[in-house]
Structure formats: structure tokens, C-alpha cells
Structure 1
Amino acid sequence: MRKIVIDGSNTTGFQRTALVAVGKEDSYIETSYGLVRIKTLCLEEESAFIVESTPSRAKYKLDRLGIPLVEIATEPDIWHPEQAKEAALKLGRLLRATGKVMRGIGTIRQDLNISISKGARQEVKGVQELSMIPEIINREIQRQISLLDIMKELKDRGLSKDAFSGGIVEVTDLLQGISKGFIMKALKRGERAYGALLPSMKGILSREIQPGRRFGTELSDYAKVFGGVGGIIHSDEARSYGLGEEIIGKILERLGGGPNDAFVLVLASRKVAKLALNAVLERARIALESIPAETRKVLPDGNTSFSRPLPGSERMYPETDIPPINSHEIVEKVSQSLPEYPEETISRLINSYKISRELAELLFDNWRFKLFEEIASSYPRISPSFIAATLSSTLTALKREGVPVERLKDQTFKEIFAYVNEGKLAKEAIPEVLTELALDETSSLEEIVSKRYMSIDQLDEIIDTKIKELREEIFARGERAYGLLMGRVMSEVRGRIDGAIVSKRVKKKLREYLSTAQK
């Protein structure tokens, strides 16, 4: 199939999509909220990434244009926000299990199609953080419910589509008295002010539809997309822009409105203002009758903003250059060497190495479970849970601190655990060693370990010194002085020798001292 593309994001004017498979009765994934059927499996080409856009010009990066993407579509079986997250996680794990897909943020993206009763389907594009999926869905549900409430109120106020026909009027002269803020700066640059009346909509534009977003923001999105303006000024929030009651009254009078009406202003050339304000008026008209079906962009907080109207199937047409491909032989060949299912791998890790489900899932999701198995099998004396935690949660914590852990190679981890197994590197030192290696790729692991290594003789000298320093407390407390002595010793040797070894030597030395002192 081909999909018509007219925004410039594909240099050919169309995007190719190959239908690889159609779901059957047994094409589904299981979630704790019910089955989710798989509708189609497609291969499509990536479009160019938009850098910036105005009504007259768009700028794109071509570095990812044409990259093949696997697209998996589900049937409308997902009814709960948490189910959507669970389904996305399971599909991502199935893809990772093949070992044929890239990993990391941005390599797997979810497009969420969200709708409610009496609402409209919204396609939220490019969701990357699985943890955000429930919040995005909940906020979209809130947005549509709020828009339905606004629709009812507008009808109760007696509004009709014909009410938005007052046209676009210049009001530059009415704003000349403003002596500060961006309005003054815009007028000084030579921009003009234009307004449009929104009859009987006073108070509606400041109505919250999502946390931190109001109906006025919806109108502003349309002005930005279709007009290319930076935003709008509306009467519900005009005072925060320095417009006093007198100016607001004069603007309403100029636009032919009254005390129950609202208005929208933009600062731009007449041509741009006309595009922006006509888009605002059209969105206001739509608000009377329905929620428009849209393609929306996800924002960092889980809200969404308007990107473009949701396209229909009319822009799809059959591929004209490439004949259908018989994939039967390919499918048969692939079927002979299918990898383990994700849940099988996770269960095997839990049962074979006695680690928690959380650690097993983390290892699978960061694709280090094979490295884990190799290290755990090579060094059975080291706790598998410790190895798993190092390869998962420890690396996650370091990454949050800004350490570029992606630079660390598998061989580095193997060598580190070899030193731990030999007693030459303390477990507690591993995060510091990993940090040093990641930040300085020229550093030598052997040199780092040699600087940190402490022999038993060196440890015993430190313990003897601490015993002398604490002899009065030790004599008074007896064996109960172990905790005090252990703390003082660890303050000097932590990260240089394994804590279990230190504990054994401290207990031995303490017993020897007490035995001698009692004699």
C-alpha cells in the first residue's frame, strides 16, 4: 500500500507500507485485564523528522527517512489504561526476544488510539516511555469528558455555528497604551494586533480540560499549527497580559461583543493573523457539535497537544510498483528457529538462579540476561542475585546520575566479576569502578583494581590499630564491642576488600584480644 504524504516528510510524496500478516483467532497476547488480539503486522518506511514548521515552510532531517519499521496493530480490546501499558510491554519483549531489533529509547514507539463514548478517536503519536501510558490515557479521557461538558454548556447558552461570523478586526490602536510585556515589544517590532469575537463564551476559554491546560490552549494549538503564530491572547486571561478593564471593554466594543462574550487576539501580519484566527473560529464552531478526531503529540507531563486532523483511509491506495510477495517459505524457515518466549526466559532465570521476578524482568528488558547467565555459571560462589542487581538496578542508578554506562562492554563485566571471585575486588567497590571506567575509556581495569586491592596482612594491621585505639571500650563491652570495632575498620577499608572477609577477621582478632586480656 501507499499512503499519500503532502507535508514534505517523504521526498517521494508517499509512504510505503507492506502488509506482512493479518491476525487470526490465535493471534493475541494475554494481559491481566483480558486478551488483546493482534490485527495486523506491517513493514513501513520511516518518514523524515520535522525540525521546524511554519504555514509557508517546513524543515526536515533526512537521516532516518526510509528506515524500515515493524508496525503491530491491535484490535480495540484494550479497555483499561494499565492494560495498554501491559500490552505494550509484552509486545516490546516479544520483539526484543528475536534479537533482531534495536534497543533503547526511541527504537520502540507506541501510537495510542484513545476514544470514549460520545467522544472521538485521538491518535497520540510516538509515546516512548511505557510508564507514561496510563497517565496519557487518563488525561486524554479527562480532556474528552471536559470537551463534552463544554459542548453541553455552549448549547445551553443558545450558541449556534452562525454565531462565529463576525470576521477578523484590527485592534492595534487599542493596545498602544500598554507599556510593558511582550505585547509592547511586539508592537514596537511593527507587528499588528487582530481580534475575533467568540460570542457567549466568557469563562469557557479558561476552563481546565487537562491539568495545566485549558480550552484556550486548544484554540491556541490550532492557531499555532495553521497560522504559525507563537500563541494567542484571550479575554479570560487578558488581565495577566496587562490588559485593563477599559481596554478589554473597548476591544469587545470594536468586535461587536458584549459583557458575556469572549475574544481572541493574535500579534502578527494580517495574512498570518487571518490564518490563525480563522483556525480558532473553526475550532470554536466544532466545539458546538463534536470532539474533532485528531493526531496529537504527547507532552512531557502526559498531556497532549494538537498536531493535525486525523487522516482517513482515503489517502491509502494500492502499491503500483511492487508485486505481492509469497512469504510462505520465509515463514517456514523462521518457524524452525524461534527463540524462547519472554516469559519462558524470565521463568527460567527465576527457577535456575533463584533470583526475584523483578531482577529477571530487568535483565530481560535490558537484554543482559545472556551476560548474566555466563557470569553466574562461571562464578558460582558469587550470589546470582548480586550479579543480576549489578547488571540491572546498579547500572540504572548510575545512569540516573549521568554516568554513560552504555560505554561499558560485556567483557568489562566479566573481568570485574573475575576479580571479585578471586577476592581482589570488593563487591562494594563495583559501582565506583564502573563509574571510573565509563567516564574515562582510557583507564585500565587492572590498574584500578590494583590500587584498591588490600591484602589480609594489610587488613590485620588496620584491625590491630583500631583495637589499640578502642581498648578501653573493648575491655568494658567484651564481645559486644564487635559492632563498634567493625564500623571503625570499615570506615577505612570499605571498597578495598570484601565486607564478609572483614567481618571474619574482626571477629577473630577481637576474640584473640579478649582472650589475651583476660589472662
Structure 2
Amino acid sequence: MQQTIDYAEVGFKAGLEVHQQLLTATKLFCRCPAGLYTREHDGTVLRHMRPTLSELGEYDGTALMEFKTKKNIVYLLHESNTCTYEMDDTPPFLINPEGVDVAIEQCLMLGCDIVDELHIARKQYLDGSIPTGFQRTAIVGVNGLLPFRGRQLSITQVSVEEDSCREVSDTGHLIVWRTDRLGIPLIETVTGPELRTPDEVEEAILLIGRVCRSTGHVRVGMGASRQDVNVSVRGGTRIEIKGVPKAGWAPALVHGEAIRQVNLLKLRDELHNKAFTSPETIVVDHRDVTSILASSAIDHFRADAWQRWLEATGRRPGFECGTGPFSVRGIRLAGLKGTLEHPTQPDLTFVHELQGRVRVIAGLDQPPILVHDASWPGTAAELKAVRSHLNCEAGDALIVVWGAEGDTLTAVEEIRLRFVDALHGVPSETRQPFVDGHTNFERILPGPDRMYPDTDSPPLALDRERVQALEGKLPEAPWIREERYAKAGLPLDTIHFLIRRGGARLVDMMADRTDADIRKAGFFFGERVKGLRRKAVAVDAITDEQWIS
């Protein structure tokens, strides 16, 4: 299986959407406190999401996909950090001016053109992460440039928007969210697709993070910064790796996605060579094989074992699991033998692609989600009986799924659709990242049809005086400060730590007001303070004047 790749040869390119929470007292469109997280809740709300038409009278493909999942969406509320606005029972307040100012600062740091008027739009989300079904967002600046590796990295836009809920659990047809994070202001910084290698992706994430933190007006810590990485290769399409929590994850994830796309393009060519060229050539038959496998030693295939699994995991039929009797369904894929084992990501095959679709859309999530004849877990006699029942020929592939009958029927259609997608190469998807470097299907990649104006929020003029006042207070750009500190003799790791953790301001203050030079002050705040943190000393409680004195 392919593990290495020449990124230039395959036409690799990547871009970023870096999300950074802002350090404001209140949320973006209400006056609930921002950053007040809880583990408790004193109320719950159950919702079901339905798609709405765009301004052009069309449905977004992602919204339609989410609707097919038939999710029961439960929100855990706490009165200390949630109000009726978050539940869409109250119109939005005027946008938080503090959050807008921080977004303008970020735009100025990146050399963006500031818009004359802020227009708030709704971005549709039906995954349940926002109870209203949409996120309020507004573009603040466009056409910026960021010095990067001796060239300029384009900044397409910077937006201010509200953060989503925190996911608690996602099982079958039930997803649970906590609303404490909902509505916290954040900025989204979008780059052009100009990153050439996985290492450049990581470096750009860290650089944008240093720009954000240099203002001193953003939150830090776990979850305060997340990034979506958009990846494509020549002949492929844009894939979004959603919510990468750490920059250090990015190289392996991006490398794996590049290999995945190259391998999916090879699969497309193989299918075309076998005369699979249109949706009509993908023939999928299915039959119920519950009775054939009723006495199998494999638990997945038996109704009694499935019922025990439901009870052990607390699943509720009709709420977390689909309705209908237990069913084991055999699926014949005419002429497609060998395609299931086709490599995709490092150490994964096309079966993993099918498992992702079935898990997310059909709600069948009992591992391993599906089995196939190339790695059949049961006896040879069982496999022969199932293949015979489905009239499988030598060149046919076989898949078996199990669960509530309605969900197994949905799984059949999703498997067919994924093979139809394979005829075109790389389908546009949003994918979930994992620490080992692989990704899994999360949803169809959203398109422009999910955006429409927010009729509850008036436009906001950004006058020149406001922008100029903020411009006069801007901190030194990180790349300029890095060059100055490097000339003073500080190592790069220490420089990045100082900028990332806010110590650079104290370094300059100490150098200005004491006999310490930049190098001495930098080592003090970059190394000694780091050691104090490791010893659990509350260094954040020490004031600037106390440090300098």
C-alpha cells in the first residue's frame, strides 16, 4: 500500500480556515457570559432539524444528507451560560462590538481591506451543533497577505462568527450537545489554497495562531483554537478535514488525505477500465438473510445478541436506533469483487469509506459496522449460503449489514451511492480527524446554497475613525518581533513560546524599564517562567508591575 508521495508531482495544494475564540466578556449575539463552561445541566431540549431553501430556491446537499440521518438532537442547558437566544426563542441582540473590534485588529494585522459595512449572514448547519440550524457570521476583511517562507500567503477573508455547541456523545440516531460554548465570538481566518506540503500546513497554522495571540485579545487553552484544512490533488476535489485541534496533527492528516485522493483516482480508473462508467452500471441487489445466519457464532448476525448489545449500551429503539425489526441484510455488488480491498488511506481500504457513510447516514454504528466476503468472520458454509441466496456470481462482491430494518435499507442505498461517487474519483466531503493521522467521513461538503442573509440583524457601518483608532493600537507584527528577538540572540523556540503565551509584551516592557536587554528578559520569561508554571506557580496572577519590579 502506498505510504509515500511526491507532493509536487501529484499537484498537492492545501488551504486553511483557522478558528480562534475571542477574549470577550459576553457572547456574540446575546449578553450571556462567554467562556463559562459547565459539566452540569439543569434543562434539556429535544430538536429535529429540517432543511430550508436557499435564496435561489435550492437545497444544500449537506442539509439534505443531515436530514437523512434522522437524528434526535438533545441539548444540555445551564442557566448560567445559556438564554432564550441560543434556543432561537429570542431575536439576536446587536452584534458584540468588542468582538467586532478584535476581528478588525486581526484584519489589520494581516493587511486585509476592511469592509465598509458588516452584513450578517446565516450559514446552515443541520448536524445539531447549533440549535437554530444556522450560524450567524459576517465578513470583516478580505484580500490580506501574510509573509510566509519568503513569499506571501494570501488571506481570502476574515470573518467574525459565533461558536457552536460542544458534542457530548453521538450514538446511532441520538446526538447530545452541551450549549456552554455556543455563541462565544470567534474569528475565522481563511487562506488561499497555496500550501505545498504537509509541513507548510503546520507552519501556517502556527503562524496564524501567533498573529491572533499577538493582540492579547483571544482565548488560549484546549478548544480555543481549531482549524479546518482543505486538501486536494490534481484531478481530485477539495476535501475539508474538520476541526483539527492541534497544529501537530496536521502533517499526518494532510499526508494521509493526499494519498487517499491519489488512490481514489486510481480506483476510478480501474472501474472505468471494467466498464463501470455511469450510475446505471452500478448494480446493487439486497435480500434479508436474518434466518440464514440466525444460529451463527458471530454475535452481529443474531437478534438475541443484538438485543443484549442494545441493553448493555443503553440504546433505545426508535430514539437511538431505527425502528423496525432486527434485520441482517446481504448486499450483492455485481462485478465489483476486489474493489472493497482497494487501498485508500495508509493501512485502510475502500471498506473504510463505506463504513463511514453507513455509520453516519444509516446510523448503524455497532463495530465493525459491516462485513464483507473478502474478510468473512463466520464459517465458509455461512458465506456460501448467503452468496447463494443472493445469486452471487464469481465476480460479485458481498457485504452484510445488520440492525433495525429501516436502517439496513438506508445502508444499501448509501453503499450504492458511494460506489457511484467512486466513478468520479474523489467526492467532496467533510472528514473527521483522528490522532493517528487517518480521517473518517463526517458529511457531504457544504456548498454556497447553505448561505443566506440574516433578516434579524441590521447591517453595521465600520467607519474609518473606528478602524484608524484600532490601527494606532496594533502590536508589533509577529514576524517583525521574531526577527528583532533573533538578532538579540534568542532561540526560535523561545521566541515562538513568548509570542504564543503573551510573554513578548513583558519582555519588551522589562527591556525598556530595567537594565535587562532583550536576550536576558527573553530567557527570563521564556524559560524561568515556564519552569514556574511546571511547578504549579500561579504566574498568571502576577501583575505587570510586580514582574518588572
Question: When the two structures are superposed, what TM-score results if normalisation uses the length of structure 1?
Answer: 0.71
Point out the structure with the larger strand share: 2
1:433-465 Cα offsets, whole Å, 9 max, x none, are xxxxxxxxxxxxxxxxxxxxxxxxxxxxxxxxx
Residue of structure 1 aligned with 2:226, choices 88, 95, 109: 109
Shift of 1:375: 7.0
Residue of structure 1 aligned with 2:451, choices 316, 322, 341: 316
Work out whether residues 163 and 185 of structure 2, in 8 Å CA contact, stay in contact via their aligned partners in 1. yes
Map of 1:21 onto structure 2: 141
Q: Is 1:170 equivalent to 2:288 in the alignment? A: yes
Of 372-381 and 91-100, the range deviating more from structure 2:
372-381
Work out whether residues 52 and 59 of structure 1, in 8 Å CA contact, stay in contact via their aligned partners in 2. yes
Q: Aligned partners of 1:175, 1:187: CA distance in 2, in Å?
A: 13
Shift of 1:222: 0.4
Q: Aligned partners of 1:210, 1:413: CA distance in 2, in Å?
A: 50
Work out whether residues 129 and 164 of structure 2, in 8 Å CA contact, stay in contact via their aligned partners in 1. yes
Of 3-12 and 266-275, the range deviating more from structure 2:
3-12
Work out whether residues 198 and 261 of structure 1, in 8 Å CA contact, stay in contact via their aligned partners in 2. yes
SS for the counterpart of 1:361 is helix
Larger Rg computed on CA atoms: 1
SS for the counterpart of 1:346 is helix
Q: Is 1:411 equivalent to 2:546 in the alignment? A: no
Q: Aligned partners of 2:514, 2:542: CA distance in 1, in Å?
A: 13
Question: CA distance change for structure 1 residues 153 and 234 in 2, over 3 Å: closer, same or farther?
Answer: farther
1:354-377 Cα offsets, whole Å, 9 max, x none, are 322322222222223344566787
Q: Is 1:11 equivalent to 2:128 in the alignment? A: no
Letter in 2 for 1:194: R
Q: Aligned partners of 2:395, 2:175: CA distance in 1, in Å?
A: 39
Q: Aligned partners of 2:211, 2:223: CA distance in 1, in Å?
A: 17
SS for the counterpart of 1:36 is strand
Map of 1:452 onto structure 2: none
- Name stretches of at least 5 consecutive residues in structure 1 with no aligned partner: 419-519
Map of 1:431 onto structure 2: none
Letter in 2 for 1:18: A
Q: How does 1:372-391 map to 2 (within 5 A)?
A: 387-388=524-525, 390-391=527-528
Shift of 1:213: 2.1
Shift of 1:285: 1.9
Q: Aligned partners of 2:541, 2:486: CA distance in 1, in Å?
A: 22
Map of 1:87 onto structure 2: 204
SS for the counterpart of 1:136 is helix
Map of 1:487 onto structure 2: none
Q: Is 1:349 equivalent to 2:485 in the alignment? A: yes
Shift of 1:281: 1.7
Shift of 1:100: 0.5
Of 329-338 and 216-225, the range deviating more from structure 2:
329-338
Question: CA distance change for structure 1 residues 6 and 406 in 2, over 3 Å: closer, same or farther?
Answer: farther
Q: Is 1:197 equivalent to 2:320 in the alignment? A: no
Residue of structure 2 aligned with 1:161, choices 275, 279, 286: 279
Q: Aligned partners of 2:387, 2:516: CA distance in 1, in Å?
A: 80
Q: How does 1:10-89 map to 2 (within 5 A)?
A: 10-23=130-143, 27-32=144-149, 34-53=151-170, 56-89=173-206
Q: How does 1:286-365 map to 2 (within 5 A)?
A: 286-328=421-463, 329-352=465-488, 354-365=489-500
Structure with bigger RCO (C-alpha 8 Å, 6+ apart) = 2
1:24-45 Cα offsets, whole Å, 9 max, x none, are xxx2112116321111111111
Residue of structure 2 aligned with 1:138, choices 242, 255, 258: 255
1:98-118 Cα offsets, whole Å, 9 max, x none, are 111011232121111111111
Shift of 1:316: 1.0
Of 243-252 and 371-380, the range deviating more from structure 2:
371-380
Letter in 2 for 1:149: K
Question: CA distance change for structure 1 residues 268 and 180 in 2, over 3 Å: closer, same or farther?
Answer: closer
Of 56-65 and 114-123, the range deviating more from structure 2:
56-65
Q: Is 1:186 equivalent to 2:323 in the alignment? A: no
Q: Aligned partners of 1:284, 1:17: CA distance in 2, in Å?
A: 35
Point out the structure with the larger helix share: 1
1:119-168 Cα offsets, whole Å, 9 max, x none, are 11111111121122222111111001111111111222233533444433
Map of 1:465 onto structure 2: none
Q: Aligned partners of 2:473, 2:510: CA distance in 1, in Å?
A: 25
Work out whether residues 21 and 40 of structure 1, in 8 Å CA contact, stay in contact via their aligned partners in 2. yes
Work out whether residues 202 and 236 of structure 1, in 8 Å CA contact, stay in contact via their aligned partners in 2. no
Work out whether residues 429 and 442 of structure 2, in 8 Å CA contact, stay in contact via their aligned partners in 1. yes
Root-mean-square deviation (CA), in Å? 3.1
Question: CA distance change for structure 1 residues 121 and 380 in 2, over 3 Å: closer, same or farther?
Answer: closer
Letter in 1 for 2:292: L
Of 201-210 and 133-142, the range deviating more from structure 2:
201-210
SS for the counterpart of 1:209 is coil
Work out whether residues 170 and 194 of structure 1, in 8 Å CA contact, stay in contact via their aligned partners in 2. yes
Q: Aligned partners of 2:430, 2:158: CA distance in 1, in Å?
A: 21
Q: Is 1:366 equivalent to 2:501 in the alignment? A: yes
Map of 2:115 onto structure 1: none
Work out whether residues 214 and 500 of structure 2, in 8 Å CA contact, stay in contact via their aligned partners in 1. no
Work out whether residues 490 and 523 of structure 2, in 8 Å CA contact, stay in contact via their aligned partners in 1. no
Work out whether residues 232 and 264 of structure 1, in 8 Å CA contact, stay in contact via their aligned partners in 2. no
Q: Aligned partners of 2:210, 2:541: CA distance in 1, in Å?
A: 21
Of 314-323 and 186-195, the range deviating more from structure 2:
186-195
- Name stretches of at least 5 consecutive residues in structure 2 with no aligned partner: 1-120, 309-324
Question: CA distance change for structure 1 residues 413 and 4 in 2, over 3 Å: closer, same or farther?
Answer: closer
Q: How does 1:202-241 map to 2 (within 5 A)?
A: 202-230=337-365, 231-239=368-376, 241=377
SS for the counterpart of 1:337 is coil
Map of 2:416 onto structure 1: 281
Work out whether residues 366 and 392 of structure 1, in 8 Å CA contact, stay in contact via their aligned partners in 2. no
Question: CA distance change for structure 1 residues 223 and 345 in 2, over 3 Å: closer, same or farther?
Answer: same
Shift of 1:417: 12
Q: Aligned partners of 1:29, 1:385: CA distance in 2, in Å?
A: 25
Work out whether residues 164 and 181 of structure 2, in 8 Å CA contact, stay in contact via their aligned partners in 1. yes
Q: Aligned partners of 1:28, 1:334: CA distance in 2, in Å?
A: 19
Q: Aligned partners of 1:30, 1:49: CA distance in 2, in Å?
A: 34
Shift of 1:188: 6.5
Question: CA distance change for structure 1 residues 97 and 125 in 2, over 3 Å: closer, same or farther?
Answer: same
Map of 2:215 onto structure 1: 98
Q: Aligned partners of 1:283, 1:213: CA distance in 2, in Å?
A: 16
1:4-35 Cα offsets, whole Å, 9 max, x none, are 33333322232211111221xxx211211632
Shift of 1:2: 1.4
Q: Is 1:253 equivalent to 2:388 in the alignment? A: yes
Letter in 2 for 1:171: V
Letter in 2 for 1:342: P
1:260-289 Cα offsets, whole Å, 9 max, x none, are 221211120211111122211211222123
